[in-house]
Amino acid sequence: MPDEPPFDLAGCLERVRRNDQQAARELVEHLYPLVIRIVRARLPRRVPEEDLAQEVFLKMFSRLHQYQGSVPFTHWVSRIAVTTCIDHLRAQQRRPEFRWADLSENEANLLDAVMTNERAVAPDDALEASELVHKLLNQLKPDDRLVIQMLDLEQRSIAEISEHTGWNTTLVKVRAFRARRKLQKMFRELQRKERT
Amino acid sequence: MTPEDKVWQNLVSAARSVRDDRTTAAPYGFATRIVAQAFAAESRPAPMLLDRFCWRALSVAGLLAVAGVAANYTVGLRSEEEMPLDETAVTAVFDIS
């Protein structure tokens, strides 16, 4: 089976600028995997992923005339997706305090075991660990959450985060530091409180 | 590394091992719907923009009106206090006392 030719992004953008709707559809289909991965990783509660992806693409088309080509187009779209998710996360009410009661039985058992034994999580518990990590991340400010998620979960470098968010590297480091401090505080609080 | 950092690193390294097997292809008709909306928004007539700004203008006007009433309320109270008890606004204006 012959390989598909690489997508001509520059040519496609040129056609979209000339109001070619077929090119615009091709652009959406080409960028959808990138956008949906960003949206899924930072999806706010109660917001369907498709609605958020739709919002990202509509913003992309409405701001297309602002794109000057100083950064790769995919980075520019990533920034739109990231800021759209952050705006939705900011609009959500965060819980003032994280409690044991917020966790399912399995998550609470896992956290208890990890905190008391400081042992590695068993492969069978990976799904609970993932849920738990996301619940903890939800307690952070959206900007801090994004940085720590990209650093620790997606294992991106500071420079990569800077490219995808448009924030300078110092700001990324400050946000990472703030997020880690908040996480440490949360763990200490949980350890201090009796599990009910 | 603090014990809390160690707990966090244990959890995230387990979370990283969870694979997301969901499809990343655009749902059927998604691109068509987006493009139709995007191109319809581009050809939106000017009065629609005017509608948007009208609401802002209305809220600014409302705020100014409230501020105006508040500013003049204290002035009105003061001038009422300064007016002698046997004078009403009518007698003061037409000087018929």
User: In this complex, is the C-beta atom of B7 within 8 Å of any C-beta atom belonging to chain A?
Assistant: yes
Q: How far is the alpha carbon of B87 from chain A, nearest alpha carbon, in Å?
A: 57
User: In this complex, is the C-beta atom of B21 within 8 Å of any C-beta atom belonging to chain A?
Assistant: no
The whole-number pLDDT of residue A21 equals 92
Q: How confident is the model at residue A177 (pLDDT cuts 50, 70, 90)?
A: very high
- For the question of whether the overall pTM of this predicted structure is more than 0.90, the answer is no
Annotated domain spans of chain B: 46-97
Residue of B nearest to A187 (CA): B4
Residue of A nearest to B11 (CA): A129
Shortest CA distance to A149 belongs to which of A171, A175, A128, A127?
A175
Q: How confident is the model at residue A80 (pLDDT cuts 50, 70, 90)?
A: very high
* Mean pLDDT score, A64-79: 89
Collect all residues of chain A within an 8 Å Cβ-Cβ radius of residue B33: 54
Cα distances (Å, whole numbers) of residue A32 to A35, A63, A119, B36: 5, 17, 39, 16
Q: Give CA–CA dist A163/A75, Å, rounded.
A: 7
Q: How far is the alpha carbon of A173 from chain B, nearest alpha carbon, in Å?
A: 16
User: In this complex, is the C-beta atom of A125 within 8 Å of any C-beta atom belonging to chain B?
Assistant: yes
The whole-number pLDDT of residue A1 equals 47
Cα distances (Å, whole numbers) of residue B57 to A15, B54, B62, B67: 38, 5, 9, 15
pLDDT in tens, B27-80: 999 999 999 999 887 766 555 666 777 888 899 999 999 998 888 877 766 666
The whole-number pLDDT of residue A45 equals 63
Predicted ipTM of the assembly: 0.75
- 3-class DSSP assignment, residue A34: helix
Cα distances (Å, whole numbers) of residue A191 to A109, A180, B13, B34: 13, 16, 21, 48
Axis-axis angle for helices A158-165, A73-91 (nearest 10): 80
Q: Give CA–CA dist A180/B80, Å, rounded.
A: 62
Residue A39 · residue A49 · CB < 8 Å: yes
Q: How far is the alpha carbon of B49 from chain A, nearest alpha carbon, in Å?
A: 14
Cβ–Cβ gap B30/A130 under 8 Å: no
Q: How confident is the model at residue A2 (pLDDT cuts 50, 70, 90)?
A: low
